[in-house]
Amino acid sequence: RKEVEQDPGPFNVPEGATVAFNCTYSNSASQSFFWYRQDCRKEPKLLMSVYSSGNEDGRFTAQLNRASQYISLLIRDSKLSDSATYLCVVNPLYNFNKFYFGSGTKLNVKP
Amino acid sequence: EAQVTQNPRYLITVTGKKLTVTCSQNMNHEYMSWYRQDPGLGLRQIYYSMNVEVTDKGDVPEGYKVSRKEKRNFPLILESPSPNQTSLYFCASSGPRAGRGDTQYFGPGTRLTVL
């Protein structure tokens, strides 16, 4: 079973739409959670960390549900520039030097 | 400019011919890591290093070696490449709290094809 699972998409949404992605993780002892963004054939870049209480950064909101073992990313007022693949990343409690990446969810924002 | 550099960016080679992919960072980061990215599998961690002379295996270390003799450099060595090592490779670095808040910065990637 994969450590981290994501719906690959693609999610095709119009500009201005609100879109949400979920990511599930298998290890209940996972400690830290992140969302990265990856543009086509480019390197991943940190979008935001995910805190237990949930956190917001502008149009982006991340939530963690430990009971159901998933994290979510909500994007409001989608822009064309939000088109990318969003990677969910999990870091286990037993080794904070290891990282497990999901295979990514592709978002296409259309005019 | 703070950055992680990788060389070469593209490489086509043949089975069994030893190769090294270099990774260098100019941010004085303690933590460095190598990943490979394959379609449908996401990024998988190959090796990581917490500091000079301290390395450990990630999830897919077979067929790879690393060394960390200097803080800024973390080369990935394929002693005898095979076609199943054809992939997109990323190097990353971060401060010492890689999983506890420090951002991982990724290099631009190395696309390796083994024939």
Give per-10-residue mean pLDDT for chain A (111 aa).
90 97 88 93 93 92 93 97 97 88 96 96
Between CA B50 and CA B98 the distance in angstroms is: 9
Is there a contact between A99 and B99 if contact means CB atoms under 8 Å apart?
yes
* Cβ atoms of B109 and B21 closer than 8 Å: no
- Residue of chain A with shortest Cα separation from B106: A43
Instruction: Flag if B100 and A32 touch (Cβ within 8 Å).
Output: yes
The sheet with strand A55-57 has its strands ordered as A4-6, A19-25, A70-75, A60-65, A55-57
pLDDT at site B1: 85
For chain A, the residues whose C-beta falls within 8 A of a C-beta of chain B are 4, 8, 31-32, 41-46, 49, 87, 91, 95-104
**Of A97, A103, A104, which is closest to B50 when you measure between CB atoms?**
A97
Residues in a beta bridge with A105: A86
Question: Are B43 and A87 a contacting pair at CB < 8 A?
Answer: yes
CA atoms of B30 and B71, how far apart (whole Å): 7
Give yes or no for a contact between B107 and B91, defined as CB atoms under 8 angstroms apart. Answer: yes
Return the ∠ at Cα A87 (arms to A85 and A92), rounded to 5°.
175
Residue B83 neighbours by CB distance under 10 Å? 10
Q: Which residue has the tokens 């094809």?
A: B113
CB-based contact A44:B90 (threshold 8 Å): yes
* Cβ-defined contact of A46 to B43 (cutoff 8 Å): no
Identify the DSSP state of B73: B
pLDDT given at position B33: 98
Which residues of chain B fall below pLDDT 70?
none
Query: Which pLDDT score is estimated for B40?
Result: 86
